[in-house]
Chains A and B, each alone.
Chain A
Amino acid sequence: MNQLPVNEPLLSKTRRQFFSQCGMGVGSIALASLMADKANAVAPKLVNPFAPKGGHAEAKAKRVIYLFMAGGPSQLELFDYKPKLVELNGQPIPQSYIEGKRFAFMGSSHGVKCLGTRKRFDRRGQAGTWISDMLPYTSGVADDIAVVTTCATNLFNHAPAKLFMNTGSGQFGRPSLGAWATYGIGSEANDLPGFVVLQSGPRGPRGGAVNWGSGFLPTTFQGVPLRGQGEPILNLTSPAGITAERQRRTLDAVRDLNLQRLVATGDDEINTRISAYEMAYRMQSSAPELIDISGESKATLDLYGVDPARPSFARNCLLARRLIERGTRFVQLYHTNWDSHGGPGETLEDDFPKVVKDVDQACAALVKDLKVRGLLEDTLVIWGGEFGRTPMGENRDKTGRNHHIDAFTMWFAGGGVKGGQTIGETDELGFGPAQDRCHVHDLHATILHLLGLDHLKLTFRFQGRDYRLTDVHGELIPKLLA
């Protein structure tokens, strides 16, 4: 098992880039014969930065599926049941709650009147977790999930908040959670990327590539966008008219000529490139196989609610399962649009229920399916947005809520998580935490912990400083751990 690359200087790191064991069979033999008559040649070192690595401690979760609800779902319609808020509906929220607070849309539609939910809530599962009627399927897996109602973040505009949720910082240039994870423990996928991003909904997430970027870590660790239909990875398909045989002959010639150059120069980097080409070739068949769901049973498709003919969040959930089965370490699914201000297309009455319906069945199906396959015990599933919504309504045409960062809900399941519980309690209006505040940094520390990584030790030296995902913050959330 390789050593965890803690504090390894950037330079030596990038010199030893990608190498994978497979595909080098032919190459190694050829290399040996080419090296034989080269007295002063330097034998190449072979190192794969993605090779699975042990963390700092035993890992409870070996992989992560992060269901990112882009736009900020309303916890008050889904998980955080506040009868008092219903009672005070229409009345101004007491000044003590909002004194000195800043919100989005301060100059326009921000409102201060309490907005009680119109949804019916009930206790679900043996644990009696409060979940609203909007989530019948999620209610069915209540005993597998840990609902955290007191999540807190720092930034209240979408793009900065997404950046913060993913990188632990509002500043650009920091690595994302998935990049840190694959940097820390590598990947078990031989012919697929270690960190994959999928997207569904009417548009992509705000901020785009920075959300899965590698920041100052080598770009090897950045998330690779994968599409559920058509060409799954950009440039995956050989150019029109190039048969598989011709592509293979092309690659063989590239490899042989690169080997000759390797011997002439003794530069390990050429070895790495040879391996990268072999993996690229394997991806050309493994990625289409991955997205081809024709082999999935009707029962499975029905469980998720997948219509094979159209892209959807449900389809992406199924692909996430297929990815982790093939060794991918970190899969992040973005689903838009949860932004529910009350303006046209963003109302709590008409539009929000559609988005809820987009995800409810598939999220629950994923948890169930993983469980049936014995994968849930070491796969961490995360559900949540970049922030939540205010207990106050907005001054718009229809009902909506503003962005809210003091208390919002996420849920966690699987790999090392104690399911069937609710962590945290918000005040009676659901504005802030009454106990167990779980800040983004704490969530990050805990996620890394589940992966066997110590957030204090997983560092990377940049600009004369050892950077961490949690910066100088982060406390474990013991209640979340099984």
Chain B
Amino acid sequence: MNLIVVIGTLAASATALVGAPVDYGKEIQPLLAQNCYQCHGVTQPKRGLRLDTAAFALNGGQSGPAIKPGKSSDSLLVQVISGTHKDLTRMPYKKPPLSDAQIALVRRWIDEGARAPANEVPGSKVHWAFVAPKRPEVPEIRNSQFTIRNSIDAFILARLAKEKLTPSPEADRPTLIRRLSLDLLGLPPKPAEVDAFVNDTSPDAYEKLVERLLASPHYGERWGRWWLDVARYSDSNGYSIDAPRSIWRYRDWVIAALNRDLPFDQFTIEQLAGDLLPNATLEQKVATGFHRNTQINQEGGIDKEQFRLESVVDRVNTTGAAWLGLTIGCCQCHDHKFDPLLQKEYYGLFAMLNNQDEPDLPLTTPDETKRVADIEAKVAAYITDLFKKDADVVARELKWEASMTPEQRQAMPQLWREIFDVPAAQRTDAQKLVMVTSFVENAPENKTHQAAIKKFRAEKPKVETTMVLRESAKPRRTYLHIKGDFTRDGGDVKAHFPAALHAAKAPADREPNRLDLAQWLVDDANPLTARVLVNRVWQQYFGKGLVDTENDFGTQGSLPSHPELLDWLAVEFKQPTAKPNSPAPIAYSLKGLHRLIVTSATYRQSSAARSDLARVDANNKLLARQNRLRLDAEIVRDVSLTASGLLTTTLGGPSVYPPIPNGALDLGQRKQPWPTSTGPDRYRRGLYTFHFRATPPPAMSVFDAPDGYSTCTRRIRSNTPLQALALLNDAAYFEFAEGLATRVLKEVPASDSARLEHAFRLCLARKPSAGEATRLGDLLKGELAAVTDAEAKSVKAPAGVEPKQFAAWTTVARVLLNLDETITRE
């Protein structure tokens, strides 16, 4: 026995003297699951050894039993994890070793007899998240000195009481109204709204405010963007060419659906399979844009089927993350290493999402559609006629083609680019005609023809389209991709659902389709969807979910901090409790869920840090206070824009082009068009800014707006110098500061302190403290004195405003718009 083992044994026995016996289920099984199941689990266990139950470990594999109860030092398991076995390499293989404490724990467990439940079931069938939630009892809190506004508070208080912690007091009213406005609308409250709320003495003042905000159309914008993150929404095709696309009608569908509180089950079904509903409406078809937010590779020389399949893979993975909170993407290549999901089952789901065409849906009336078709037929006839009669046109076209630079060619539509790659001699007549068409329509030498074509098109109605899914008439074959490689055919796979999850109610006499998939996701028996959804909503309000691995509810994910509360919320979401004298509640109502959370005392707490909590709950998992949260990228813009008084409140429509810095579009393959919006569109909310995936708007990406490449279920909140540069120097933000200065000077009579207070409240809702007022007052005085005549001359002071005043107030406004608190929800 070598020295290391001796020390280990001593350490183990020393620990064994204190504390309760090791609990296999709580301490050993998770350790083994985390570190060993990947190779020694149900699928292809290495050297025949399985460790996914204690009994399997005892049975052992090719090298004999892994554990000898009572004799840790003789146990193979201990020898390999501590790296002391003479032949076998240290485990886990090619991974960091277990810590000394973990090894000591395993030793102690073995020395104590390796006790484990006799009925232990292998795999993760009993994993908590795979068992449908049942409504837990709400803890009874007696004689509490703390407010219990609804059941959420009972769960939170019961948990805090265990740790002998107390909740924080309610935040003051200006903080509450700003918090609620930002959380529900993504907009700050107006000073008059703050005053009205602060002065409302009725007992239900807060509830009335919540109802007013939930009824605002801006609610759909704020929570619509939340859903668009998951939908990986973007206005461009991605990959190399990254051409603009038209799918904003899907974005508007989401906003409208949330505003009318379309229940989440129906919200799900319409997005995944709206086209398959009986008598599907235009809107239900538009909703299927959800899964058209995948990228399209328009690069030359690609295998189109390869990238179509990539899209389907993304759709399966996104569906898994968004609704099930599972990493089913792992099964694209192999059976899941940790969760009870098989590769074959992955392709079972894949089959349901593999059978659609991907058309652009015209949003015109049938009459308009026909008029467009007629006009285009005339244009085609004109060019075909030319092609037939003008013997020289092909040669002229080729000359034109040869004169183009690679960059110019890259900018051409996909179909043309594909033909560019075909040598002239090998082109078919059809291909030649396509090229002649592009030549006639684009080459400068064809002015006469272009004028003729323009005449045809003068009467053409503008056709808006949106990208949708449409079930294909001819079913596609789905096969297992060996190791995830679509060129390696692993045999037919029929559409089916994973066995570890609830059974589908789809008819047994046919293969399930996309609609069955959608219905299965929102089936009452589904153990995951409601939990995953309420968790992600919770995450928005508190900064992290009750399960902080919001995209992994599998065995590798974190355990919920408040398991009963999570289940209670999930069940309440699906089957809301009826209230006396109120209309029957709506199942799967998102507004109902928001109302429930924001009216809790837990939500209404102050967010101030407390030294007593810093020690025991540094990450504030137990929620003895609220969290301060940096605003989302779009809302950072919206807050400044609102404070400036410039905000255009129009809902929906095509994406817009507010000013962006020079050079922001330089680093993509193709320099994209950016026709900077003037007029009201310049001041639209952040979620309407046109988003190119390869060259995203810088002020959005520096504040962690998702890139639209894959589903985003939680935004990171970084805090970087580039954010400071954006808020300080971006032309858009400077314009907002000038707007704020102008507004304050115009709206408030000439009193510096009154003006300062107004400006402060426009940004932060509350009034400044004495210290803050003094500092701002000093700033203003200093600026009035320091602004040089040259500076005063350079400002664009509005009519009737003295330039030095304007310059000084612009600085004050810039300071306010740059404050940490301005871009934070307290």
Instruction: List the interface of chain A (C-beta within 8 A of B).
Output: 6-7, 9-12, 14-15, 17-18, 40-42, 102, 104-106, 108-110, 157-160, 171-173, 193, 197, 199, 202-210, 213, 218-220, 224-225, 227, 230-231, 233-241, 243, 245-247, 249-251, 253-254, 256-258, 260-261, 264-267, 269-270, 272-274, 276-277, 279-281, 283-284, 337, 339, 341, 343-346, 395-397, 402-403, 456-457, 463-466
Q: Are A172 and B709 touching (Cβ within 8 A)?
A: yes
Q: Are B551 and A463 touching (Cβ within 8 A)?
A: yes
- Which bracket fits the contact residues of B? 35 or more
Neighbouring B residues of A15 by C-beta, 8 Å: 619
Q: Are A109 and B423 touching (Cβ within 8 A)?
A: yes
Neighbouring B residues of A14 by C-beta, 8 Å: 716-718
A18 to B410, CA, bound (A): 40
User: B residues 541-558 with Cβ under 8 Å of A?
Assistant: 544, 548-549, 551-552, 554-557
Known contacts A250-B814, A265-B607; decide if A260 and B695 are in contact (CB<8 Å): no
Q: Are B775 and A264 touching (Cβ within 8 A)?
A: no
In the A-B complex, the 8 residue pairs with the closest CB atoms: A208-B694, A464-B556, A266-B609, A206-B240, A104-B301, A172-B709, A280-B724, A105-B301
A270 to B716, CA, bound (A): 17
Known contacts A203-B407, A220-B718, A456-B95; decide if A344 and B300 are in contact (CB<8 Å): no
Q: Given A208-B669, A261-B821, 19 more contacts at CB 8 Å?
A: A14-B717, A40-B611, A41-B609, A106-B301, A110-B301, A172-B710, A199-B666, A199-B667, A218-B718, A219-B718, A220-B720, A224-B722, A235-B725, A236-B725, A238-B729, A249-B786, A260-B771, A265-B607, A464-B555
Per-residue CB contact flags for chain B residues 763-792 toward chain A (1 = under 8 Å, else 0) read 000000101100110010011001110010
Neighbouring B residues of A402 by C-beta, 8 Å: 301
Kindly state whether residue B723 has any CB partner on chain A within 8 Å.
Answer: yes
Q: Which of A218, A243, A260, A267 contacts B628 (CB 8 A)?
A: A267
A6 to B99, CA, bound (A): 13
Q: Are B818 and A230 touching (Cβ within 8 A)?
A: no
Chain A to chain B contacts (Cβ below 8 Å), 10 pairs? A157-B240, A173-B710, A203-B410, A241-B807, A261-B819, A339-B406, A343-B421, A345-B407, A465-B330, A465-B556
Neighbouring B residues of A7 by C-beta, 8 Å: 96
Q: Which of B297, B401, B551, B795 contacts A344 (CB 8 A)?
A: B401
A181 to B720, CA, bound (A): 18
Distance of A287 from chain B, by nearest CB (Å): 10
A339 to B405, CA, bound (A): 13
Kindly state whether residue B662 has any CB partner on chain A within 8 Å.
Answer: yes
Distance of A358 from chain B, by nearest CB (Å): 15
Known contacts A160-B239, A241-B791, A465-B327; decide if A260 and B779 are in contact (CB<8 Å): no
Known contacts A219-B720, A465-B327; decide if A457 and B96 are in contact (CB<8 Å): yes
Q: Which of A159, A202, A227, A396 contacts B423 (CB 8 A)?
A: A396
Instruction: List the interface of chain B (C-beta within 8 A of A).
Output: 94-96, 239-242, 295, 297, 299-303, 321, 327, 330, 338, 401-407, 409-410, 418, 420-424, 426, 487, 544, 548-549, 551-552, 554-557, 607-611, 614, 619, 628, 630, 661-664, 666-671, 692-696, 698, 701-702, 704, 707, 709-710, 716-726, 728-731, 734, 769, 771-772, 775-776, 779, 782-783, 786-788, 791, 794-795, 807, 811, 814-815, 818-821, 824, 826
Q: Are A253 and B611 touching (Cβ within 8 A)?
A: no
A337 to B408, CA, bound (A): 13
Q: Are B720 and A464 touching (Cβ within 8 A)?
A: no
Distance of A113 from chain B, by nearest CB (Å): 14
Q: Are B405 and A345 touching (Cβ within 8 A)?
A: yes
Neighbouring B residues of A456 by C-beta, 8 Å: 94-96
A193 to B786, CA, bound (A): 33
Q: Which of A171, A204, A234, A254 contacts B661 (CB 8 A)?
A: A234
Distance of A234 from chain B, by nearest CB (Å): 4
Neighbouring A residues of B772 by C-beta, 8 Å: 257, 260
Q: Are A269 and B667 touching (Cβ within 8 A)?
A: no
Interface of A is mostly: loop
Q: Are B728 and A464 touching (Cβ within 8 A)?
A: no
A397 to B402, CA, bound (A): 10
Known contacts A17-B720, A18-B721, A109-B421; decide if A41 and B694 are in contact (CB<8 Å): no
Neighbouring B residues of A236 by C-beta, 8 Å: 725, 729
Q: Are A18 and B719 touching (Cβ within 8 A)?
A: yes
A105 to B95, CA, bound (A): 41
Distance of A147 from chain B, by nearest CB (Å): 28
Neighbouring A residues of B409 by C-beta, 8 Å: 343-345
Neighbouring B residues of A209 by C-beta, 8 Å: 667, 693-696, 701, 707
Q: Which of A12, A193, A208, A337 contacts B406 (CB 8 A)?
A: A337
Q: Which residue of B lies closest to A208 (CB)?
A: B694
A173 to B712, CA, bound (A): 9
Neighbouring B residues of A105 by C-beta, 8 Å: 300-301, 421
Q: Which residue of A lies closest to B627 (CB)?
A: A267
Q: Are A279 and B721 touching (Cβ within 8 A)?
A: yes
Please count the residue pairs between chain A and chain B whose beta carbons lie under 8 angstroms apart in the complex. 310
Distance of A279 from chain B, by nearest CB (Å): 4
Neighbouring B residues of A341 by C-beta, 8 Å: 421
Q: Which of A173, A205, A230, A464 contacts B557 (CB 8 A)?
A: A464
Neighbouring A residues of B608 by C-beta, 8 Å: 264-266
Q: Are A210 and B662 touching (Cβ within 8 A)?
A: no
Known contacts A203-B669, A463-B549; decide if A254 and B819 are in contact (CB<8 Å): yes
Q: Which of A6, A106, A109 contacts B303 (CB 8 A)?
A: A106
Neighbouring A residues of B728 by C-beta, 8 Å: 235, 238, 247, 250-251, 277, 280
A41 to B614, CA, bound (A): 10
Q: Are B718 and A17 touching (Cβ within 8 A)?
A: yes
Neighbouring B residues of A258 by C-beta, 8 Å: 819-821
Distance of A72 from chain B, by nearest CB (Å): 12
Q: Which residue of B lies closest to A342 (CB)?
A: B423
Neighbouring B residues of A197 by C-beta, 8 Å: 667
Neighbouring A residues of B94 by C-beta, 8 Å: 456
Neighbouring A residues of B718 by C-beta, 8 Å: 14, 17-18, 218-220
Neighbouring A residues of B663 by C-beta, 8 Å: 227, 230-231, 234
Neighbouring B residues of A346 by C-beta, 8 Å: 406
Known contacts A265-B607, A267-B609; decide if A205 and B669 are in contact (CB<8 Å): yes
Q: Which of B693, B716, B807 contacts A218 (CB 8 A)?
A: B716
Neighbouring B residues of A246 by C-beta, 8 Å: 783, 786-787, 791, 811
Q: Which residue of B lies closest to A70 (CB)?
A: B669
Neighbouring B residues of A344 by C-beta, 8 Å: 401-406, 409
Q: Which residue of B lies closest to A105 (CB)?
A: B301
Distance of A306 from chain B, by nearest CB (Å): 20
Q: Are B729 and A276 touching (Cβ within 8 A)?
A: no
A193 to B720, CA, bound (A): 10
Neighbouring A residues of B300 by C-beta, 8 Å: 104-105
A234 to B338, CA, bound (A): 44
A225 to B661, CA, bound (A): 13
Distance of A16 from chain B, by nearest CB (Å): 10
Q: Which of A157, A213, A241 contacts B794 (CB 8 A)?
A: A241
Distance of B273 from chain A, by nearest CB (Å): 25
Of listed A106, A203, A227, A257, residue having the most chain B CB within 10 A: A257
Distance of B96 from chain A, by nearest CB (Å): 6
Neighbouring A residues of B698 by C-beta, 8 Å: 234-235
Q: Are B407 and A219 touching (Cβ within 8 A)?
A: no
A160 to B241, CA, bound (A): 12
Q: Which residue of B lies closest to A238 (CB)?
A: B729
Q: Are A241 and B556 touching (Cβ within 8 A)?
A: no
Q: Are B820 and A270 touching (Cβ within 8 A)?
A: yes
A171 to B338, CA, bound (A): 21
Q: Are B242 and A276 touching (Cβ within 8 A)?
A: no
Of listed A7, A172, A236, A337, residue having the most chain B CB within 10 A: A172
A67 to B422, CA, bound (A): 32
Q: Are B423 and A249 touching (Cβ within 8 A)?
A: no
Of listed B401, B544, B716, residue having the most chain A CB within 10 A: B716
Q: Which residue of A lies closest to B419 (CB)?
A: A108
Q: Are B707 and A277 touching (Cβ within 8 A)?
A: no
Distance of A426 from chain B, by nearest CB (Å): 23
